[in-house]
Structures are given as C-alpha cells and as structure tokens.
C-alpha cells in the first residue's frame, strides 16, 4: 500500500484569509488522481476525524481539472491571535502525508 505522500505531486496547506485554512492534495496525472478518488479514502468524514471537528465544518472538493482534492476548514485560532501556532497555516497538511491508500 502506498501513502498519499508517495502518490501526490504536492500536499500543502495555507491560509485562505485569516479565518479559514485550506489543504490541497494534487496529483501529477488523471490516472493517479482517479485511482485515489475511486478508493474513497479522502472524504469529508476522514478529514473531520483527522482534525477532530464536526463534518459540517469541513468543505471538501474534488477538482477534476487539476487532479486535486481540496479541503477547507475553519482555523482553531484566527491567524496571529494568541495561541495560533501556524501564522500561514503552512504545516497543517502533515497528517495526510503518511495516509495509506488501499489498493495501491
């Protein structure tokens, strides 16, 4: 079984404004993207479990024209506020890197 990190060409996270963060999981070609999509391993529920929040807080997109999955969630703390630990939200994608993709 391969991991998302091994299959993707880019996994990243970033602020989408100071109040929301967004995670992009991008693949190099439609074959790999479709393969991962078919497994259903990436979905709103698993994202809500990773980040320990309710499913309705998670926006989940399949972006076919760039072979990407996109996830947007509210920040636990607004950017730069006391207790915010990642001003650019640049390292919040980490739990996806070692995620195993069944059937790969």
Report which of 30, 14, 41, 103 is spatially closest to residue 68, judged by C-alpha positions: 30
Judged by CB under 8 A, the chain residues 25 through 44 that form the site for other proteins are 26
**Among residues 71 and 101, whose Cβ is nearest to other proteins?**
71
Edge-first strand listing for the sheet containing 59-63: 10-15, 20-26, 68-74, 59-63
79 binds other proteins (CB under 8 A): yes
Locus of tokens 């990243």:
12
What CA–CA distance (Å, rounded) separates 40 from 47? 12
Which member of 61, 97, 100, 103 binds other proteins (CB under 8 A)? 61
Question: What residue ranges bind other proteins (CB under 8 A)?
Answer: 14-20, 22, 24, 26, 49-52, 59, 61, 63, 65-68, 70, 72, 74, 76-88, 91-92, 94-95
């Amino acid at each position: 079984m391969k991991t998302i990190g091994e299959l993707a060409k880019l996994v990243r996270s970033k602020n989408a404004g100071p109040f929301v963060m967004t995670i992009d999981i991008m693949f190099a070609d439609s074959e790999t993207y479709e393969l991962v999509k078919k497994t259903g391993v990436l979905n709103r529920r698993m994202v809500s479990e990773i980040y320990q929040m309710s499913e309705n807080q998670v926006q989940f997109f399949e972006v076919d024209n760039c072979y990407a999955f996109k996830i947007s969630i509210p920040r636990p703390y607004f950017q730069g506020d006391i207790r915010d630990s990642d001003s650019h939200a640049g390292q919040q994608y980490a739990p996806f890197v070692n995620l195993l993709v069944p059937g790969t």
